Each structure stands twice: as C-alpha cells, then as structure tokens.
Structure 1
Amino acid sequence: MTTTITPWIHDLARVRPGDRIEAWDQDHLRHAGTVSQVAAHLGVLWVREASTGLPRLIPAREYRLRRTSVAPTT
C-alpha cells in the first residue's frame, strides 16, 4: 500500500468524521489518526490516534492539518 497525500486543510467545515488526518507542527508529524468529531466553530477536532487508539483533541490553530488516505499499490 502507498499513502496518498492531499493539500493542507484551511477550513474545518470541510472535515468530516471518518477522515484520516495528519497534524503537523512545523516539519514534524505530531498526530495521525481518524477524525471522530469536528467542532469547526471552536476550531478543534477530535482524532483517534492511529498509533495508540486514544482520542486526541487537536486545536487547528496550533497545527497544519491534511487528509491522508491509503491507496493500494499497483
């Protein structure tokens, strides 16, 4: 499998539960997982961490966010 990377997210209103998200701080990946809830009006989302399975509150102003999806290799 390969990872397909999309552009940075600038509007949380376009993020939905079930989206796979990465949260970056400068050039470092800090969090990655599946969105469970979005509160666009508050500027936050909750992600279930892929590595631990634990929920994590992500304040969008503190990170650069982007969707990722897993695509099969050919």
Structure 2
Amino acid sequence: MTTTITPWIHDLARVRPGDPIEVWDQQHLRHAGTVSQVASHLGVLWVRETSTGLPKLVPTEGHRLRHASAAHTA
C-alpha cells in the first residue's frame, strides 16, 4: 500500500468553496474540514470543521494548507 502526500498550497487561488482542507501550524494539524469561503485578497479563508461543524476563520499567515482526501475528512 502506498501513501500519497498532498503538496502544500502556496496560492489561495487554488482553493475553492467545497474543497476538503487541512490547516497545519508547525507540525500540528489545527483544523480539518470543508472550505466555505475564500478571501484571497485578505489572506483568509473560512473552514467548517468536520469534527464540530463550527466555522473557523483561518488566516493563511503562519499556517500551511493542503487539500485533504474526502475519505480523510469524513
């Protein structure tokens, strides 16, 4: 069985509402969920967390983002 590592997102133009996403801070997963809105000009996005269903405003400064598989976020 092979593991595919999803590359980090460096441009919010690659992120769309409905995308499953992971938000990392250093080496720790901080948020996992579905993107609800993106404001690339402000450097922020809103993520509805899978575990709680709560929306989170995430500044991209200081965080790393990557698309997550649908199976991973379910």
Class of the TM-score when normalised by the shorter of the 2 chains: 0.7 to 0.9
Q: Distance in 1 between matches of 2:47 and 2:59?
A: 11
TM-score, with length taken from structure 1: 0.86
Counterpart check, 1:8 vs 2:8: yes
TM-score, with length taken from structure 2: 0.86
Shift of 1:21: 0.6
Consecutive aligned runs of 4 or more in structure 1 exceeding 4 Å deviation: none
Shift of 1:70: 3.1
Corresponding position of 2:38? 38
**Larger strand percent:** 1
SS in 1 for 2:6: strand
Q: Distance in 1 between matches of 2:12 and 2:46?
A: 12
Give the paired residue count: 69
CA-based RMSD of the aligned residues comes to 1.6
Structure 1 stretches lacking a partner, 5+ long: none
Corresponding position of 1:68? 68
Shift of 1:62: 2.0
